[in-house]
């Protein structure tokens, strides 16, 4: 064996170490050009919790097509918690064989065959919130598995994360997804505890801003160690966050409860305010058994256009008087959406003098000045034109309901 001079040997090892170091540099930036408008789809949790199987998911995908939701823009069929089985001998996660006997790749192929996309769920901790295997320590294997299955969207939760820092944990799963190579929307679900709106825009495509939503218009439910919130409480928590939202990076006030038991007027108000906030529209009802009112709410194209407006501006609360709130949202081409939200249990009159109320949105750098420009008024719920801004708008807003207008010039 020939002797290698120590200096040369040192240079060889230094070169190897340097090369290896370069090989292991991670890409902590999300996939670009995804979720340029707020994601729209369906998620299993709000209605079915852990009671999920491939038969249900296939039927929901069928219903998304047959009810017209797909054609209205709903894209994702997302499995939430409890799809998991065990890990195999190499550590790769497998679906529950009894609930998903055909396997996840076959389910993804079925959903893709419907012109839809499939989402899946995991957790940054050792276990999911439902006690299934989490991704901690298996992030790169899980990302490889999801890519092999053909997954398009990952909701990544925050249970059982002892000692982890959120930003670092979510950067790890982002790096894993990038390494796996299949573009996926990443939904950061750490409940807003670590201010994900400050670091999330480069890491994920949307981030939860609050704890879980609850199927009520105005309430807080105390579960002891945690709380869930009604639609109005969730909405109130968005006020200071609008500057962080935009194309490809959205504040997520949690999934929709439309069709899960609230009154039709409350569903309408809930849906409207999510649209005004440019929120992701991930419905959570049983699409196979929708009432006509639920279907009408979820497929209202004019309301969906407010949510999906390409400017991607989150609306804001402009004024409050006697439980009646006025919200505004700048839209593309100089248009505006205006919502009068009645949070009280009795009807409330509204009168808005457009010409006497110039409005400037400093976040969007947009101005609504009816004294200078006359706007046409369109009611997207009534689906009719209702005059112009030449005279004040007057109406009565029913209890727990909204009146919405789109202004265009």
**Active-site positions?**
157, 212
Contacts of 246 (CB under 8 A, 6+ apart): 312, 313
- Measuring CA to CA, which residue among 135, 140, 118 is closest to residue 24? 140
Bridge-based pairing of strands 250-252 and 281-283 is unpaired
Residue 106 burial (10 A CB sphere; 0-12, 13-18, 19+)? middle
Q: Are 74 and 40 in contact (CB under 8 A)?
A: yes
CA atoms within 13 A on the CB side of 95: 23
The CA–CA distances, whole Å, from 45 to 82, 105, 135, 255, 325 equal: 10, 21, 19, 9, 31
Bridge-based pairing of strands 153-157 and 117-123 is parallel
Supply the DSSP string of 279-304, one letter for each residue: --EEE-S-GGG--HHHHHHHT-HHHH
What's the rounded Cα separation, in Å, for the pair 6 and 322?
Answer: 83
Phi-psi region of 48 (alpha: psi -120 to 50; beta: other; left: phi over 0): alpha
Q: Are 339 and 402 in contact (CB under 8 A)?
A: yes
H-helix or E-strand spanning residue 275: helix 264-276
Considering only the C-alpha atoms of the chain, give the largest distance between any 2 of them, rounded to a whole number of Å: 97
- Measuring CA to CA, which residue among 388, 174, 403 is closest to residue 268? 403
Residue 112 burial (10 A CB sphere; 0-12, 13-18, 19+)? middle
Residue 355 burial (10 A CB sphere; 0-12, 13-18, 19+)? middle
| 3-state SS, residue 7 | helix
Q: Could you count the other beta carbons within 10 Å of the beta carbon of residue 78?
A: 27
């Amino acid at each position: 064996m020939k002797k290698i001079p120590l200096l040369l040997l040192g240079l060889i090892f230094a070169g190897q170490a340097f090369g290896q170091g370069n090989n292991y540099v991670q890409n902590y930036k999300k996939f670009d050009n995804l979720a340029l408008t707020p994601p729209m789809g369906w998620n299993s949790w709000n209605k079915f919790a852990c009671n999920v199987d491939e038969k249900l998911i296939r039927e929901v995908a069928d219903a998304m097509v047959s009810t017209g939701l797909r054609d209205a823009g709903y894209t994702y069929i997302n499995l939430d918690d409890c799809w998991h089985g065990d890990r195999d001998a190499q550590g790769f996660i497998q679906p529950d064989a009894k609930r998903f006997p055909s396997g996840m790749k076959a389910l993804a192929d079925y959903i893709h065959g419907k012109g839809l996309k499939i989402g899946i769920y995991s957790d940054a901790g050792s276990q999911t919130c439902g006690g299934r295997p989490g991704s901690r320590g298996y992030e790169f294997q899980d990302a490889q598995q999801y890519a092999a299955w053909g997954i398009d969207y990952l909701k990544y939760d925050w249970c059982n994360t002892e000692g982890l820092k959120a930003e670092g944990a979510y950067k790890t799963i982002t790096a894993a997804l990038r390494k796996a190579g299949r573009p996926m929307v990443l939904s950061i679900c750490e409940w807003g505890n670590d201010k994900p709106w400050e670091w999330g825009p480069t890491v994920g495509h949307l981030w939860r801003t609050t704890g879980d939503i609850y199927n009520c218009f105005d309430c807080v439910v105390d579960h002891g160690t945690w709380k869930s919130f009604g639609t109005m409480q969730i909405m109130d928590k968005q006020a200071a966050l609008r500057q962080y939202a935009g194309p490809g990076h959205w504040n997520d006030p949690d999934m929709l409860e439309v069709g899960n038991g609230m009154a039709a007027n409350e569903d309408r108000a809930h849906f409207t305010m999510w649209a005004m906030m440019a929120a992701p529209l991930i419905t959570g009802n049983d699409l196979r058994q929708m009432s006509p009112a639920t279907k009408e709410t979820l497929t209202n194209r004019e309301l969906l256009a407010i949510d999906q407006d390409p400017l991607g501006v989150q609306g804001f609360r402009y004024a409050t008087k006697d439980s009646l709130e006025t919200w505004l949202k700048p839209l593309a081409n100089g248009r505006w959406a205006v919502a009068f939200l009645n949070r009280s249990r009795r009807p409330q009159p509204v009168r808005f003098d457009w010409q006497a109320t110039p409005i400037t949105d400093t976040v969007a750098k947009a101005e609504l000045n009816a004294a200078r420009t006359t706007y046409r008024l369109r009611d997207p719920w009534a689906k009719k034109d209702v005059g112009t801004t030449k005279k004040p708008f007057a109406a009565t807003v029913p209890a727990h309901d909204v009146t919405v207008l789109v202004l265009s010039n």
